[in-house]
Amino acid sequence: MHMVAIGGSDAGISAALRAREVDPGAEVTVVVADAYPNFSICGIPYHVSGEVPHWRNLAHRTIEDLEAAGMRLRLDTTARGIDTAGHKLLVTGPDGAEDLIAYDQLVIGTGAVPARPPIAGLATLGPGDGAHLLHSMGDTFSLMSTLTETSPASAIIVGAGYIGLEMADALTTRGLAVTQIEQLPEVLPTVDPQLGALVHAELAARGVEILAGTAVNSVGKAEPGAPGRLRVEAVTSAGEPVTRHADLVLVVAGVRPDTSLAVTAGAALGAKGAIAVDRRMRTGLPDVHAAGDCVVTWHRLLGETYLPLGTTAHKQGRVAGENACGGNREFAGSLGTQVVKIFDQAAARTGLRDHEAAAAGFDPVTIGSEADDHKAYYPGSHRIHMRFTGDRATGRLLGVQLFGHKNAEIAKRVDIAATAIYHGMTVDAISDLDLSYTPPLGSPWDAIHAGAQAWTRQAHAAG
């Protein structure tokens, strides 16, 4: 059995590792367009900040580790076409020569590409001008060249989603003056504005200029004598024009699934134009599975959606690899659980926000509350800001959002909520969870208990 995975990031490598685990006799080849298989692109901001000094440290595994796990790597090799009837993959190798790779099973893990918002002038600028996108190791090397070779004093980040925020943190840590422009009314639009405002305050306290509710229209080379190489024109939601100059512009405005190879082979598309797959990660094409940022995501509360995350790509890749070897595993579904560090603070969410739950047919109530991460008499305690969303009629927990200090176990507390939602718990039942306690690390009623109790007390009174 020869399994070929296209893509050497979270999905492709997870599929390859799992295939070798379940069928140690399987021949496994991974075709990777660049020379950086199994690199943690999630770690890029921490290399840019200088906290991870060498880019090689971002490798989850070395090439030698991957080969020792039993996979053959075809690096700098781009898949160009899939002959599904003949079970052959057409590739172009590092020297430009074409080759056909015969497969029994194929896993597509081509991932996503950065979205290019309709900003006039963006297409005519490139890394040499100080204009950057960020997704791959290649993008990282370009950005690092600009940083080390031109020593920019200032940066404009277009987009204040989680990657934009991580990059605001990273570039500020490097000493650049950062302006962050977000067209939606508040930063980190994936959480409620009440928590977005707390993220905003942390950014502002660190000297990041935030222009929320402001859409960038154009970017171009600055006029001589301007305070920066590039000029960005934007407009506020009130119609006021805004101009900013900077030496570096970083556009991080989301991603779109990279589906061209699959589409040409005849694969169907689903939510947000991602490759349609069932929960066994089957594409519908014979012997072709797909996983990761290029496919639709099964959400446990919403059904089919598109929710590109590294955690999901790992799980889907593992399912695809197992099933390619004759397994029958289903992807259990995402809850969109995610966390982001912004300087010394962290924001996290799992499940649904109020409007998302309402759109999905629930009768949601969202209650905000606060609690300490551990007993306040023990030094170093921090407040945790919480928003619990539950269904009024059934009491079922639907979503939790948290904000607090990065040492306040925000990530692991949201994971308690993710586990509870996964198992269909009611908000009230969270109070019964036997969570750990010692004063320096927690409270007899953990913050998660307290947030659930606040919801139970107030939900029926809430309109």
Ligand X SMILES: Cc1cc2nc3c(=O)[nH]c(=O)nc-3n(C[C@H](O)[C@H](O)[C@H](O)COP(=O)(O)OP(=O)(O)OC[C@H]3O[C@@H](n4cnc5c(N)ncnc54)[C@H](O)[C@@H]3O)c2cc1C
**Which spans of this chain sit near ligand X (rule: CB under 6 A)?**
6-12, 31-34, 41-42, 44-45, 78-79, 109-112, 134-135, 163, 258, 261, 292-293, 308-311, 313
Spatial distance between the Cα atoms of 199 and 401, rounded to a whole number of angstroms:
13
> Is the CB of 39 or the CB of 455 nearer to ligand X?
39
Closest contact distance (angstroms) between CB of 224 and ligand X is: 34
Residue with smaller CB distance to ligand X, 273 or 424: 273
In the complex, the smallest distance separating the C-beta of residue 278 from ligand X, rounded to whole angstroms, is 17
To ligand X, the closest distance from the beta carbon of 432 in angstroms equals 30
Residue 60 vs residues 17, 39, 63: alpha-carbon distances, Å: 13, 6, 10
Helical axes 310-324 vs 10-22, angle rounded to 10°: 40
> Between residues 106 and 119, which has the closer beta carbon with respect to ligand X?
106
- Minimum CB separation of residue 111 from ligand X in Å reads 2
DSSP class of residue 224 equals: T
Comparing CB distances to ligand X, the nearer of 371 and 400 is 400
Contact call for residues 9 and 38 (beta carbons, < 8 A): yes
C-beta closer to ligand X: residue 306 or 362: 306
Q: Are 324 and 289 in contact (CB under 8 A)?
A: yes
* Closest CB to ligand X among residues 140, 389: 140
Is 151 within 8 Å of 49 (Cβ atoms)?
no
We find the least distance from the C-beta atom of residue 222 to ligand X, in angstroms, to be 27
Residue placing its CB nearer to ligand X in the complex, 90 or 435: 90
Give the residue with the Cβ less far from ligand X, 302 or 348.
348
Closest CA to 113 of 281, 293, 331: 293
Radius of gyration of the CA atoms of the chain, in A: 23
The two structure tokens encoding residue 367: 């209650």
**Nearest distance from C-beta of residue 200 to ligand X, angstroms:** 20
Spatial CB neighbours of 369, under 8 Å, sequence gap ≥ 6: 386, 387, 388, 450, 451, 454, 455
Min dist CB 272 to ligand X, Å, is: 14
Long-range own/partner contacts, residues 456-459 (CB < 8 A, 24 or more apart): 456/395, 456/427, 456/428, 456/431, 458/367, 459/365, 459/367, 459/390, 459/392, 459/395, 459/427
Residue 84: left (phi > 0), alpha (psi -120 to 50), or beta?
Answer: alpha
Closest approach, Cβ 43 to ligand X, in A, equals 8
CA pair distance 150, 195, nearest whole angstrom: 36
State the chain's maximal CA–CA distance in angstroms. Answer: 70
